[in-house]
Amino acid sequence: MAKITAQEVNKLRQSTGAGMMDCKNALVEAEGDFDKAVDILRKKGQKVAAKRADRDSSEGAVIAYVNDDNTQGAIISLNCETDFVAKNDAFVALATEFAKVAVNCDSKEAFLAADFGGMTVAEKLIEQTGVIGEKLEIGGFEKVSGPYVGSYIHVGNKIASLTVLSANIEGADVVAKDVSMQVAAMGATTLSYKDFDPAYVASETEARIAVIEKDNIELARLGKTLKNIPSFISRSQLTDEVIEQTKLKLQEELKAEGKPEAIWDRILPGKLERFISDNTTLDHEQCLLDQNFIKDEKITVAEYVKSIGDVTVSDFKRISLV
């Protein structure tokens, strides 16, 4: 039997992350052959992975990583079975190393096939499944590139986001981080209301009105104030004709209230702004540039970005495990 030294066990442990006894046993079985011991541990991982293939891996760590010149960024979620493992420093470190590899890959498939210390990412996942004893997999993968890319990882590593700016200007680092924080917190799904499919907006409008009408039946039964039923839910529905008709209606209301026509121009902008706000709820929820900026709710994200300089947000990505 080959004599196994503590140094050899430690080397294998550093390479694979496996426990001391697992490393020693693998080296004993491999008769001191390091590469064979690695293969033994990998096969152990394959057996564990096969046994746990049907397990739910909804916990994990979400990590965003941006390259040194801030032109490419990636987010990956390394999923596991329990929050206990997800919070482990070694697990988070592994997820971070994976993200560093992901930034140079254009797809999840390419990422899984990429080199990771002499094996593929997919093989490393299997190896670590044997080490950790839980099902591990890459749950999400997102990649962006552009003139300036910034990132944000929310405390606890459950949400991460990336933002692409159209130019690398002074202060781009602050803007990209702020907008990435907005993306993480508010969960936008698209850049602007201009990107909405009209059929989706129409369907969503019908569904929301139906919910409010149902709520109002119960509110009426209880003798409570009924909810306002909006005519629209997105700026994409507020055509020039709709805005003009609304303006005329507001003027009629001011006239009926006895407000002097001379002061209408001072009152109308605020009322029109309120009308638009009340009828663009979908935009506030899903459109990044149309959302109120979380650091100053008096302005939108688009207005915040514009105030910094000649730059726009051209793309964003988000992955969440919550």
Tell whether 260 and 288 lie within a shared domain. yes
- Please say which residue of 188, 215, 235 terminates a domain: 188
The reply to whether 156 falls in a domain is yes
Tell me, yes or no, whether 166 and 205 share the same domain: no
Residues 132 and 75 in one domain: yes
Residue 225 lies in a domain: yes
Q: Is pLDDT of 49 > 70?
A: no
Please list the alpha-helical segments (H only) found in the chain: 6-16, 20-29, 34-51, 83-86, 89-102, 108-113, 121-132, 172-186, 198-221, 240-256, 264-278, 281-286, 301-308
Q: Which two tokens stand for residue 211?
A: 């919910």
Q: Calculate the average pLDDT of the chain.
A: 92
Provide the domain count of the chain: 3
CB of 165 closer than 8 Å to CB of 177: no
Judge if 63 and 126 occupy the same domain.
yes
Where residue 40 sits, what CATH number does that domain have?
A: 1.10.8.10
* Gap between the Cα atoms of 187 and 135, Å rounded: 28
pLDDT confidence tier of residue 26, bands split at 50, 70 and 90? confident
Do both 152 and 169 map to the same domain?
yes
Backbone angles phi, psi at 165, to 5 degrees: -100, 155
Separation of alpha carbons 166 and 145, rounded Å: 10
Assigned domain for 45 exists: yes
The mean-pLDDT minimum among 34-48, 77-91, 237-251, 299-313 falls in 34-48
Q: Rounded mean pLDDT of 132-145? A: 94
With CA atoms as reference, report the closest residue to 73 among 321, 316, 314: 316
For residue 146, is pLDDT > 90? yes
Please report the pLDDT score of residue 280 as a whole number. Answer: 95
In the chain, % of residues over pLDDT 90: 76
Question: Does any domain span residue 313?
Answer: no
Asked whether the predicted pLDDT for residue 122 surpasses 80, the reply is yes
> Average pLDDT of 13-28?
75
Question: Same structural domain for residues 173 and 287?
Answer: no
**Residues 239 and 260 placed together within one structural domain of the fold:** yes
282, 207 contact by CB (below 8 A) = no
pTM (2 decimals)?
0.80
Query: Are both 166 and 65 inside the same structural domain?
Result: yes
Residues 95 and 175 in one domain: yes
Same domain, 165 and 285: no
Residue 132 has a pLDDT of: 86
In a domain, 72, yes or no: yes
> In terms of Cα–Cα distance, which of 233, 269, 277 is closest to 251?
269
Task: Give the model's pLDDT for residue 57.
Answer: 87
Cα–Cα distance for residue pair 311/299, rounded to 1 Å: 17
CATH code, domain carrying 136: 3.30.479.20
Half-sphere exposure of 81 (CA within 13 A, CB side): 11
Containing domain of residue 156, as a range? 59-188
Q: Is residue 217 part of a domain?
A: yes
In a domain, 46, yes or no: yes
Please tell me whether residues 27 and 124 are part of one structural domain. Answer: no
Read off the pLDDT of residues 61-72 as tens digits, 9 standing for 90 and up: 999 999 999 999
pLDDT in the model for residue 4 = 79
Q: What is the pLDDT at residue 11?
A: 82
Confirm whether 312 is domain-assigned: no
One domain, residues 116 and 173: yes
Contacts of 176 (CB under 8 A, 6+ apart): 70, 148, 149, 150, 151, 163, 165
In the structure, what pLDDT confidence band is assigned to residue 45 with cuts at 50, 70 and 90? low
Closest CA to 92 of 54, 128, 53: 128
Show Cβ contacts of residue 227 under 8 Å, excluding neighbours closer than 6 positions. Answer: 212, 215, 216, 219
